[in-house]
Structure 1
């Protein structure tokens, strides 16, 4: 029997199965129940808009920072980074080839500067490492951008490429980072309390040192969201789009939503942003901030 990400087969007398999902799934529900429904529940899934340029920039940046650590030590140079940017570049969403080429150079320079400030001889424990965490209520899976070993303790590192420079408070309140820290600690059987947001364009590092108690509160937060999702998913299975649990949560972010074409309320929140509007907001330049970066 085939089941969805959040479904498991149950029989009479069995305990309630764990709610399975990712931190992104939990946060999508908090952002907008309607977008959550279209992204995770609707079948067939509504067609999402084409990828925007700032998303291409973010993905390419992450790919370069992933592949850099596979290079031999003698190729961890500016020339090696430039070749990775060239081979990893995603030419989607830009206004024209000239704009794409200009942004490729910006990313090359920003990543090179960021890596100059990094310890290139200290190989991370994991790069884009998949981790999982189970409690009595949830089974969370996700992927860590980078997992470092610093003096015997693990550190979770997440890359950011948007205009807004993250703060220590952003690191402290991040649900995904906290869940990744707990998952990494359990999987590697080593302490992991420190989480960091690395802003690639500026080189800024936002950090927080969790305690066991604060990580426990984050697990409880995830379980609370999952409890709401369990009820919402079950009602959708019964009622479909007629369920009242998935209202739109309108805001300025609606102008950036990938499912805006299927949401009349979202369309009332101002004109849709162009494919390249987010470039003005990417951390490599300036202007209005899009909803999130990769």
Structure 2
């Protein structure tokens, strides 16, 4: 489209920078990811704690399990179609966990304090296996040939806002229709959770529309815990409105970044926040504002960000 500069990059690209002609890393431009945009909409102070202060958050077993399941489903589609069966998927679990544990040291201690760490790890892996079994109850991967899995995508809007995110899976029909698939390892959400999930999916739909000129035919959310699948069909008018929403969010982030005025927005979701001790709404004091951060980190979205 003439008024939009867009690009799609494979998941092999670095999330932290691109190489120049001499092989050196260039900092990436500041970008908006679905997780960070959702954080700011939920609570500007939460955005600050995560994107600016980079306060550590203790990972949970549920988040790690979701990351492992995502990794297994990605690898499943690298196998020949005839091998995409439950037993093969389960066989990928332990290697995926070992790789995640080795690359994310903070996860290594998830079972260290358990009375019977070996038994709890075995049960945890078994629970991940049950989620994979539920996946096979929702679709037959032997009948699918995705165009891409865990795809890093970027689109620059006409306003200059750069969008960046990872898509779990893209299916393209022979007739060109696009389906965006996102795996959720939790249960199908109620109103708040569903709105957050659709926000993420509309983000991906907008990026694909702006980079490919095609509105995805279907956005599909697969909730593995309770074996539910939700489908949504966006349209151009809706994505244009959503684009304006993201532009407004980015402008609000920039204003807050200049002043350091990231205000808390208390809600029921505060019960799950790791940073209540620093929140004025709960009697805490935020760290001294460090100023607007290195732009290369503003749109960074980790694997743990992308699981629910």
Using the size of structure 1 for normalisation, the TM-score is 0.73
**Does the 8 Å contact 2:149/2:169 carry over to 1?**
yes
SS at match of 2:31: strand
Pair 1:32-2:32 in alignment: no
Gaps of 5+ in 1: 6-17, 237-244, 269-291
SS at match of 1:115: helix
For residues 211 and 252 of structure 1, what CA distance do their matches in structure 2 show?
31
Q: Go from structure 1 to structure 2 and tell me whether the alpha carbon gap of 1:172 and 1:253 turns closer, same or farther (over 3 Å shift).
A: closer
Pair 1:78-2:86 in alignment: yes
For residues 148 and 195 of structure 2, what CA distance do their matches in structure 1 show?
20
Pair 1:109-2:130 in alignment: yes
Count of residue pairs the alignment pairs up: 244
Offset of residue 222 of structure 1: 0.8
Match of 1:135 in 2: 157
Offset of residue 165 of structure 1: 4.3
Pick one of 95, 110, 113 that aligns with 1:93. 110
Q: Go from structure 1 to structure 2 and tell me whether the alpha carbon gap of 1:41 and 1:224 turns closer, same or farther (over 3 Å shift).
A: same
Provide, for residues 134-165 of structure 1, a one-character-per-residue CA deviation record: whole Å limited to 9, x for no partner: 22221111111111113420011111112344
Q: Go from structure 1 to structure 2 and tell me whether the alpha carbon gap of 1:203 and 1:166 turns closer, same or farther (over 3 Å shift).
A: farther
Offset of residue 108 of structure 1: 0.7
Offset of residue 65 of structure 1: 1.1
**Does the 8 Å contact 1:31/1:249 carry over to 2?**
yes
Pick one of 140, 145, 150 that aligns with 1:123. 145
Query: Where has structure 1 moved over 6 Å in runs of 4 or more?
Result: none
Higher relative contact order (CA 8 A, sep 6+): 2
Pick one of 233, 239, 242 that aligns with 1:218. 242
Match of 2:233 in 1: 209
Offset of residue 189 of structure 1: 4.4
Pick one of 247, 266, 287 that aligns with 2:263. 247
Pair 1:157-2:215 in alignment: no
Offset of residue 171 of structure 1: 6.8
Match of 2:11 in 1: none
For residues 253 and 182 of structure 1, what CA distance do their matches in structure 2 show?
27
